[in-house]
């Protein structure tokens, strides 16, 4: 078997590299085919070097459970269970917030009849007191007006004193 190796050139293009790799592969294939033909002629069994035999005959290899589930599936399953937990906890909270927003202010309760009657009576009393306060203030204005007029006319004050018994 003769192998020819080429010295690597500094400016090798991509296509030249591909062609060089193909040539090397073809030469290795031809060499292995020639070795297989020679072995058949001599009656020898051919074995492929580099592949160890799989286990011992009759022995079973326990499966490696660490390689059964890919790590991405574990991450996805953890994320799924976290999402379910958030939904279970968050759904009632979101419903309560939504009801509060949609409900607005609570509807006031109706007053009982006796309380309503008492409130009407109080309102009437307040109106009556307001009228009386208005009358009193009107009387004070009239009295202050008369006193101001008397102080402006001294003649009136003298007439008022002489006319008095």
Per-residue pLDDT for the chain (165 aa), expressed as one digit of tens each? 455 555 555 677 888 888 999 999 999 999 989 988 888 888 755 555 555 556 666 667 677 777 777 878 989 999 999 999 999 999 999 999 998 888 876 777 887 888 889 999 999 999 999 999 999 999 999 999 998 888 887 665 565 555 555
Q: Is residue 85 part of a domain?
A: yes
Q: Is residue 44 part of a domain?
A: no
Q: Is residue 79 part of a domain?
A: yes
Structurally, the chain folds into a number of domains equal to 2
pTM, full prediction: 0.30
Given a contact cutoff of 8 angstroms between Cβ atoms, the answer to whether 158 and 165 are in contact is no
DSSP the chain: -----PPPPSS--HHHHHHHHHHHHHHHHHHHHHHHHHHHHHTPPP--TT----S-TTPPPPP-GGGTS-HHHHHHHHHHHHHHHHHHHHHHHHHHHHHHHHH-SPPPPPPPHHHHHHHHHHHHHHHHHHHHHHHHHHHHHHHHHHHHHHHH-HHHHHHHHHH--
Whether residues 92 and 124 share a domain: the answer is: no
Structural domain boundaries enclosing 81: 71-102
Whether residues 92 and 119 share a domain: the answer is: no
Tokens of 56: 């011992």
């Amino acid at each position: 078997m003769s192998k020819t190796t080429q010295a690597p050139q500094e400016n090798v293009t991509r296509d030249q590299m591909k062609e060089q790799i193909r040539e090397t592969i073809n030469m290795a294939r031809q060499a292995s085919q020639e070795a297989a033909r020679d072995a058949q002629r001599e009656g020898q069994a051919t074995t492929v070097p580099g592949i160890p035999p799989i286990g011992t005959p009759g022995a079973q290899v326990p499966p490696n459970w660490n390689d059964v589930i890919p790590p991405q599936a574990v991450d996805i399953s953890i994320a799924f269970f976290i999402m379910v937990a958030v939904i279970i906890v968050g759904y009632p909270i979101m419903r309560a917030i939504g009801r509060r927003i949609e409900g607005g202010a609570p509807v006031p309760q109706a007053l009982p009849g006796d309380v309503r009657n008492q409130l009407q009576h109080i309102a009437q009393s307040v109106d009556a007191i307001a009228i009386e306060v208005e009358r009193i203030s009107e009387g004070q204005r009239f009295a202050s007006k008369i006193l101001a007029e008397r102080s402006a006319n001294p003649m009136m004050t003298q007439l008022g004193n002489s006319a008095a018994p």
